[in-house]
Structure 1
Amino acid sequence: MPTSRQLISSGSPWEPIVGYSRAVRIGNLIEIAGTTAMDGDKVVGRDNLYEQTRFILQKIAAILNEAGASLTDVVRTRMYVTDISQWEEAGRAHGEFFKDIRPAASMVEVSALISPDLLIEIEVTAVVSPFG
Structure 2
Amino acid sequence: MTIEYFSERNPGTKTLPRSLATKAGNFVFVSGQVARDEDGSIVAGGIEAQTRRTLENVAHVLALAGCTLEDVVKTMVWLEDARDFDEFNRVYGEFFRENKPSRSTIQATNMVGTKVEIEAIAYIP
Structure 2-normalised TM-score? 0.90
Aligned equivalents of 1:12 and 1:99: distance in 2?
Answer: 28
User: Which residue is equivalent to 1:41?
Assistant: 40
User: Which residue is equivalent to 2:64?
Assistant: 66
Structure 1 pair 106–72 and aligned structure 2 pair: CA distance change class (3 A): same
Aligned equivalents of 2:64 and 2:16: distance in 1?
Answer: 22
**Superposition map of 1:18-97 within 5 A:** 18-39=16-37, 40-44=39-43, 46-97=44-95
Aligned equivalents of 2:66 and 2:16: distance in 1?
Answer: 25
Is the CA contact 1:47–1:119 (under 8 Å) kept in the aligned structure 2? no
| Overall identity of the aligned pairs, in % | 29
Superimposed CA distance per residue, residues 51-92 of structure 1 (whole angstroms, 9 cap, x where no aligned partner): 111111111112111101111110001110100111011111
Q: How far off its partner does 1:18 sit? A: 4.1
Higher Rg: 1
Q: Secondary structure at the match of 1:75?
A: strand
User: Which residue is equivalent to 1:119?
Assistant: 115
Aligned equivalents of 1:20 and 1:37: distance in 2?
Answer: 17
Aligned equivalents of 2:45 and 2:80: distance in 1?
Answer: 11
Q: How far off its partner does 1:115 sit? A: 2.5
Task: Give 1:42's aligned amino acid.
Answer: S
Alignment RMSD: 1.5
User: Which residue is equivalent to 2:105?
Assistant: 107
Structure 1-normalised TM-score? 0.86
Q: Secondary structure at the match of 1:38?
A: coil
Aligned equivalents of 1:94 and 1:32: distance in 2?
Answer: 17
Task: Give 2:118's aligned amino acid.
Answer: I
